[in-house]
Homo-oligomer: A and B are copies of this chain.
């Protein structure tokens, strides 16, 4: 066990502030048996739906050969498929090789001055800051369960003469959610900011009432020239291996990016996914997967709150941040879960801005959730 732990720590140290992927772990430490990857924030039912289409449309027909052999379409052609799905003009859509490419493009090329970042959060937002852009941390408070209080954040932005602001909704790693109404108010109040980066990568798992209708601020793109909406497809559609994402932004920025780069940044299978994303039948079936997964996640989170050795923070994402309150460390518990139970969770010991011992646990399929629950109950 100690050898495996050591190898794992070694691999983790090489992955920077991100967890090593399950594929990296299996490659580098083949003796590890991972039964449940609860580090990975992804809807497994959506994965299955995509795989069914992929096999029927590309494998059975032999069309896969052309998809792998030939160049995919250029960025602006793929934007049209996305436009069909979300009803936003293709001119406002910057198609990305994973949302992270878009985050990098905006931070490296468009921003200047100060970028306020509520922490704890997804580390790339501050790690990608360099040269002309300075990351300014806004500390979320433990006593508020690390939820973002927009009024206080607004005051912080004004006091510190911030030029650009990040909001992740729901936030990662804690899953706290801000309503569209509050966000509108914030956008209206901060028209003078150069950029507001609103990351909606987990928005498909959030809801405001029992209809569970999909929420997004995407229609505000035409009203706010400084608004950038980041959308990953990896989580909601369960297809991280494809590298699909997009950013919505003012059309001037899109054409600025495409004038000097990002020509064939989407691969053939990702292009195929985006045609499904514009396909009504697929989207209807996806909607069922989305709601089923939300309801099972809700059930799982309710189960976790019964456990006495952990404190489960309120979340409207597909994961929960869990504080260990029995004196054990997250290093210890995450290694135990991995080696004894084959359950891989996100050890948050490296997350800047967290005060305490935390694990981030993703909801998976119903049966996998039960395995996680039983392992945590045994601790």
Contact = CB atoms under 8 A, between A and B. Distances in A.
A318 to B, nearest CB: 14
Which of A23, A100, A128 has the most B CB atoms < 10 Å from its CB?
A23
A102 to B, nearest CB: 11
A241 B63 CA distance: 12
B128 A261 contact: yes
A264 B47 CA distance: 19
A21 B76 CA distance: 13
A22 B24 CA distance: 35
Given A128-B260, A261-B108, A77 B24 contact: yes
A234 B71 contact: yes
Interface stretch (A200-208, A266-274, A286-294, A298-306): A266-274
B68 A241 contact: yes
A33 interface: no
A83 interface: no
Nearest to A59: B59
A267 B238 contact: no
A130 B40 CA distance: 38
Contacts of A44: 69
Interface residues of A, number: 64
Which of A77, A100, A239, A263 has the most B CB atoms < 10 Å from its CB?
A263
B100 A40 contact: no
B76 A14 contact: yes
B68 A239 contact: yes
A262 B101 CA distance: 7
B263 A124 contact: yes
A283 interface: no
A73 interface: yes
A37 B98 CA distance: 29
A24 B67 contact: no
A345 B79 CA distance: 26
A179 interface: no
A316 interface: no
A325 to B, nearest CB: 30
A373 interface: no
Contacts of A220: none
A265 B97 contact: yes
Given A23-B70, A71-B40, A73-B24, A263 B54 contact: no
A259 to B, nearest CB: 8
Interface in A1-56: 14-16, 18, 20-24, 27-28, 37, 40, 42, 44, 47, 50-51, 54
A28 B77 CA distance: 10
Contact of A243 (B40, B127, B267): B267
Contact of A42 (B42, B69, B241): B69
B264 A243 contact: yes
Interface string A248-268: 000000000001111111111
A66 interface: yes
B242 A71 contact: no
Interface of A: 14-16, 18, 20-24, 27-28, 37, 40, 42, 44, 47, 50-51, 54, 59, 65-74, 76-77, 97-98, 100-101, 104, 108-109, 124, 127-130, 234, 238-243, 259-271
